[in-house]
Amino acid sequence: MQGKATEAFEKYYADDVVMQENENPPTVGKEANRQRELEFFSKLIEFRSAEVKAVAFGDDVIISEWFLDYSHADYGKRTYNQVAVQRWKDGKVVHERFYYGS
């Protein structure tokens, strides 16, 4: 939310991280996910807001609910709620999956 998503990615994500959007095939590995993230951010036209609505956590898992509002070159105007489920190991995210409506 401070415009430091890439810095957080570098610090907190494991080299073998697996990330997945809804039912899409997962992206495996930090380099492949880095490229996916950079491509997404490079196509942001306008970022209006992001807000964490709720957070739950347990042993090596964090679940967060987000409200997102932005415009993207590929997806157009997007305003939606999303749930992110992160699984952690040794202080790094090893698996992250995003759930949201289309």
Amino acid at 63: I
Burial of 7 (0-12, 13-18, 19+ CB in 10 A): exposed
Q: What's the confidence (pLDDT) of residue 70?
A: 97
Q: Give the C-alpha separation, 68 to 66, whole Å.
A: 6
| Domain locations along the chain | 5-100
Rounded CA-CA distance 26/64 in Å is 19
For residue 102, the model assigns a pLDDT of 64
pLDDT, residue 3, reads 74
Q: Per residue of the chain (102 residues), give pLDDT as tens.
A: 677 888 999 999 999 999 999 999 999 999 999 999 999 999 999 999 999 999 999 999 999 999 999 999 999 999 999 999 999 999 999 999 999 986
Task: Write the CB contacts of 73 (distance below 8 Å, at least 6 apart in sequence).
Answer: 43, 44, 45
Tell me the C-alpha distance between 53 and 35, whole Å.
Answer: 28
pTM of model > 0.75: yes
CATH T-level topology, domain 5-100: Nuclear Transport Factor 2; Chain: A, (3.10.450)
Tell me the CB-side half-sphere exposure of residue 77, using CA atoms within 13 A: 1
What does the pLDDT read at residue 101? 87
